[in-house]
Structure 1
Amino acid sequence: MDYSSQSFKDKLESVHSFPTLYMFKFIVPEAQVGAVNALFPKHDVKLKPSKNGKYVSATIQVMAGSSDQVIEVYESAKNIEGIISL
C-alpha cells in the first residue's frame, strides 16, 4: 500500500478528526518485535503471539496530532522485514 498517497491521507482525514487516539495494528515475525517496539519508544506496545509462535500481533494506541504523523509511522514501519499492517 502507498501510505504517502493523497487518497490514503484523504481517507484518514475523512474517518478521523485530528488530534485523535489512533490505533496501529501490525503482524510481524517474532524476530522483528524489537523493531516494532523501536517505532514506539514512549508507548505501550501490546503483543500477542500467534498459536505457533512464528508471528506476533502488535497493537499500539498513539495520540496522533495529524494524518501526516500517522503516515510517517506507516512509512517507517514498512521498512521492517515481514511486517503486515492491519
Structure 2
Amino acid sequence: MFKFIVPQGQSNQLCAVLDMTPCIERASRTGKYVSITIEEHMSSPDEVVMIYQKASTVPGVLAL
C-alpha cells in the first residue's frame, strides 16, 4: 500500500505519473490537500523504490 499527500489539483498528475489503478482520493478537511492511497502488489524492493522515485517528480508530493 502506498500513501501520498498532494496539494489540491496535483492528484491527477500523481495518478498519471504512477500509472496505477485504482487511486483512492480523499480531500483534507480544509480541501487544501488530497490524500491518495494505492494498493498494488510488488514483487521486488526495486519496484517499490521505483514508485517513490516516480512520485517524487510531482511538485509538492509527500510520501507516507
Quick one: higher RCO (CA 8 Å, sep 6+), 1 or 2?
A: 2
Which region of structure 1 is more displaced relative to structure 2, 50-59 or 35-44?
Answer: 35-44
Structure 1's unaligned 5+ residue stretches are: 1-22
**Separation (CA, whole Å) in 2 of partners of 1:54 and 1:44:** 22
Q: Is the 8 A contact 2:24 2:37 kept in 1?
A: yes
Normalising by structure 2, what TM-score?
0.91
Tell me the C-alpha RMSD between the 2 structures.
1.1
- The answer to whether structure 1 residue 76 and structure 2 residue 58 are counterparts is no
- Give the count of matched residue pairs: 64
Larger Rg: 1
Q: CA deviation at 1:82?
A: 0.4
CA distance, structure 2, for counterparts of residue 59 and residue 25 of structure 1: 5
Partner of 2:40: 62
Unaligned 5+ runs, structure 2: none
Higher helix share: 1
One-letter code of the match for 1:25? K
Whichever residue aligns with residue 71 of structure 1, its letter is: V
- Specify the SS of the correspondent of 2:38: strand
